[in-house]
Amino acid sequence: MSPEWIEIGRGLCYAGAGLAFGLAGAGSACGIAIASHAGAGVMREKPELFGRMLIMIALPGTQGFYGFIAAILIMTQTGLIGGGPLKISLGTGLALFFIGLGDGIAQLVSAIKQGEASAAGIALVARRPESAGRAILFPAFVETYAVVALLATILFIIFLTQPSVLQQVTG
């Protein structure tokens, strides 16, 4: 394997890690903004409901953390963090790029949709404060798919970076 292909593989890993974190972070920012707008509207009329809405406002931020975890895993499993850089084939680099991209897109969409679900829950709490416990279920259901995306990313990375898999693919 020529040094140029190794550098391209390594660059694709960095790009995949960057997309996992960047897209997830952007989605979290959008989701929190959506929920915050709804919460601010309610707090103008009923400031005492702040505590009941805080979790729903913060929930879309978890996807940014999930993207960060995916990025760290991509870089760690390939030696880009915590050790000397490994020789990363073009195929492995492409695989990790698309794993990062897939996770980033899933987290982006889920964070935005979770912000919308949180806004719906906040609207319910504004009308019926006693429904706060039930209202949090709306964004919690969306959170499930963000967690599934992170778990799939972890499994793909573990499978891809197993020495036996790398030897079968490259050997």
DSSP 47-101: GGGHHHHHHHHHGGGHHHHHHHHHHHHHHHHTTSSSSPPP---HHHHHHHHHHHH
Provide the number of structural domains found in the chain.
Answer: 1
Count of CA atoms in the C-beta half-sphere (13 A) of 15: 14
Six token digits for residue 45: 């009329």
pLDDT tens per residue across span 120-139: 999 999 999 999 889 999 99
Is the residue at 116 inside a domain?
Answer: yes
Q: Are 42 and 125 contacting, i.e. CB atoms less than 8 angstroms apart? A: yes
Is the residue at 69 inside a domain?
Answer: yes
Q: Which domain range does residue 102 map to?
A: 3-162
For residue 34, give the CATH number of its domain: 1.20.120.610
Is the residue at 170 inside a domain?
Answer: no
Q: Residue 162 has what pLDDT?
A: 72
Is the residue at 45 inside a domain?
Answer: yes
Residue 130 gets which letter from DSSP? G
pLDDT tens per residue across span 26-41: 999 999 999 999 999 9
Is the residue at 138 inside a domain?
Answer: yes
Is the residue at 169 inside a domain?
Answer: no
Q: Are 136 and 118 contacting, i.e. CB atoms less than 8 angstroms apart? A: no
Is the residue at 60 inside a domain?
Answer: yes
